[in-house]
Structure 1
Amino acid sequence: MIGNNWQTFGVRRHIDSLPSWIKPIQADVTVADCPETWPEQKLDYLVIALAPNERSEAAYRNLYVDGQRNLYQWLAQHQQQPKRIFFVSSTAVYGQSAGEWVDELSMTEPERWSGKVMCEAEQVALNSGFPSTIVRLAGIYGGKRQAFLQRVKEGYHADGCTNRFTNRIHEQDAADLISHLIGLDAQGVLLQSAYLGVDDLPVEQAQVVSWLQQQLGVHSVAEKVLQPAGGSKRCNNARAKATGWKPKYADYQQGYLELI
């Protein structure tokens, strides 16, 4: 893990929620012009973790593809050569939907537009001219990310739909994995081009709902049916764990119990 003596910049459209130890840079990466407050000094690492304003193909491509290219232009303008780029991607790049196990060597042939755009964005990072590592995260939860938990509280259920495997990672574990990889690179450890950021237990959506209902003491409301998981695959985190990282929240029960 990286130490406390690092200077960290945070580029965001809205900087109010950044912690005090991060130096804020208010900017929108979809705007080509480099912000005036962009740092002039050497940058060792760039972590690209983007969040679109809306869920549409146009918004995704504008942010993940075009916005990412803008970032590289800003680096070029300032003659900055980071030691490594970390691009935060998604397990949506996998199109497997029959409960298959997938890892970093599995084929990435998504059927949905979101996965296709993320595949394109990964290639932009890998072809950026900088050493690059892709971190593919599964469904992030924890902290303010409690939408799924809230839906179960409201009576949403999986309608008995089984054989739909889901994968997730607590937000603290996701941040820790990226920090861990940066620390390894800084120590001269050779990193792979991609890592899966998931917990230890892929699980059926219906099983998660049933367990949460028991913990919360709530019941299904007949007309409130959750949208089925977008795919059905089981993600293997062995490569990430082989680096010495392990999730603090090894499965959904550990993570959600703390939230509850």
Structure 2
Amino acid sequence: MDQKRGSIVIIGCGDLGTEAGLRFAEAGYRVQGWRRRPELLPAELAGVQADLGGPLPALPADAEAVVFAPAAPERSVEAYEATYLRGLERVLDAIDSGPAEPARILLVSSTAVYGDADGAWVDEDTPAAPATPTGKVLLATEELLLRRRPDGLVLRLAGIYGPGRTRLIDQVRSGTAAAPAAPHPTNRIHRDDAAAAVVHLIRSNASPGTYIGVDDAPAEMSDVVNFLAHETGAPAPEQSEGKSARGGNRRLSNARLRGTGFEFAYPDYRSGYRAVLAGRGTRHR
């Protein structure tokens, strides 16, 4: 291990942050994971008790990068503002007033900042138009980071699936999943690829700004649920005339992320879900 490397601070070190933290640790960094219950973190990460609503711990003086990846306790505007907008503001204030001078700050955001595109392709140059109040808070948080830190990084993730994130698989197995009859593209990324993208953007020479984190293959929800039914031996889901309310009607491009040299372990939902069903990608569980 290269002991000359400094510290990485992951604020909101939940499932995604833990996977990213393990990858940083393997690369030789000291990693601090800030969360309300640090005792849940694996031994490779130094757990720090932190609540974004209370006094913040001091960042280590050798902090090379900060990853801001908290999860709001509920889907309300109040919870999102407290967690993301005011939480990030307090972290940035702490950086400005403390000895740490991290060269990289990355915000994990969401593709929920985009609106409906009627099935068209969307990339980072597409104007954000959040359709929900919580999406508007996320966009405001992104704008805060890039205003305060023009060298900041924003990673907009689509639907994350993977170990412990098996909602769709569970629905297919229980017979509650539906196959929409109308075309409706969906976008997703495996948890391990999402974590790898965080590490890659921090460690690479990626230009500051915004990146979309999705796999190579936007897919119709009907194709995904029928694939899962086949893989699990469950009955084929019934067709539904209703329109899916999740994810927006758009196809998200990962070309900018790919252009930095990032490679996906699971470039499409077939390879990713097969790994989940086989029990792979469970390193910290």
TM over 0.5: yes
Q: Which of 184, 201, 224 is the aligned partner of 1:164?
A: 184
Q: Which amino acid aligns with 2:216?
A: D
- 1:216 paired residue number: 232
CA contact (8 A) 2:65 2:102 kept: yes
* CA–CA distance in structure 1, aligned partners of residues 60 and 179 of structure 2: 55
Match of 2:87 in 1: 67
Q: CA deviation at 1:79?
A: 3.1
Instruction: Assess, with a 3 A threshold, how the Cα gap between structure 1 residues 70 and 161 changes in structure 2: closer, same or farther.
Output: farther
Equivalence for 2:47 = 24
Give me the TM-score of the superposition, normalised by structure 2.
0.82
Alignment check: 8 A CA contact 1:13 1:28 kept: yes
**Contact in 1 for aligned 2:178/2:239 (Cα 8 Å):** no
Native 8 Å contact 1:158 1:228 kept in 2: no
Distance 1:232 1:132, change over 3 A: same
Q: Say if 2:229 and 2:237, in contact at 8 Å, map to a contact too.
A: no
Q: Is the 8 A contact 1:201 1:250 kept in 2?
A: yes
Equivalent position of 2:169 in the other structure: 149
SS in structure 1 of the partner of residue 38 of structure 2: coil
C-alpha separation between the residues in 1 aligned to 2:206 and 2:236?
A: 49
Given that 1:104 and 1:195 are in contact with CA atoms closer than 8 Å, whether structure 2 keeps it comes out as yes
Q: Does 1:243 align with 2:263?
A: no
* 1:116-172 Cα deviation digits (max 9, x unpaired): 111111011112246201111111111111122111111122253332111110111
Q: Distance in 1 between matches of 2:180 and 2:167?
A: 20
> 2:38: which partner in 1?
15
Contact 1:89/1:118 (8 A) holds in 2: yes
1:226–1:16: structure 2 CA closer, same or farther, 3 Å change rule?
Answer: farther
Farther off after superposition, 151-160 or 234-243: 151-160
The residue aligned with 1:258 is 275
Equivalent residue number for residue 56 of structure 2: 34
Letter aligned with residue 134 of structure 2: S
User: How has the CA–CA distance of structure 1 residues 223 and 235 changed in structure 2, closer, same or farther, with 3 Å as cutoff?
Assistant: closer
In terms of mean alpha carbon deviation, does 168-177 or 68-77 score higher? 68-77
Residue 249 of structure 2: aligned partner: 232
- Quickly say closer, same or farther: Cα 1:203–1:47, change in 2 above 3 A: same
The separation in 2 between residues aligned to 1:6 and 1:122, in whole angstroms, is 26
Which position in structure 2 is the counterpart of 1:96? 116
**Once the 2 structures are TM-superposed, how far is the Cα of residue 226 of structure 1 from its aligned partner?**
9.4
Instruction: Report what 1:4 is aligned to.
Output: 27
Corresponding residue for 1:207? 223
CA distance in 2 between partners of 1:249 and 1:223 (Å): 27
Q: Sort the Cα spacing of 1:230 and 1:138 in 2 relative to 1 into closer, same or farther, 3 A.
A: closer
> Which residue, out of 68, 75, 85, partners 1:48?
68
Structure 2 SS opposite 1:16: helix
> How far has the Cα of 1:39 moved from its partner?
3.8
Given candidates 133, 154, 179, the residue that maps to 2:199 is 179
Kept in 2: contact 1:137–1:196 (CA 8 A): yes
- Structure 1 residues 234, 223: closer, same or farther in 2, change over 3 A? closer
The sequence identity of aligned pairs, in percent, is 34
Aligned to 1:121: 141
Q: Deviation above 3 Å: which 4+ runs of structure 1?
A: 220-228
Distance 2:110 2:237 in 1: 31
Instruction: Give the C-alpha shift of residue 191 in structure 1.
Output: 1.1
The one-character-per-residue Cα deviations of 1:29-78 (angstroms, maximum 9, x if unpaired) are 122x223xx34423110011111111112111111101111111222332
Root-mean-square deviation (CA, aligned residues, Å) is 2.2
Q: Match for residue 107 of structure 2?
A: 87
- The question of whether the paired residues in 2 share the 8 Å contact of 1:165 and 1:229 is answered with no
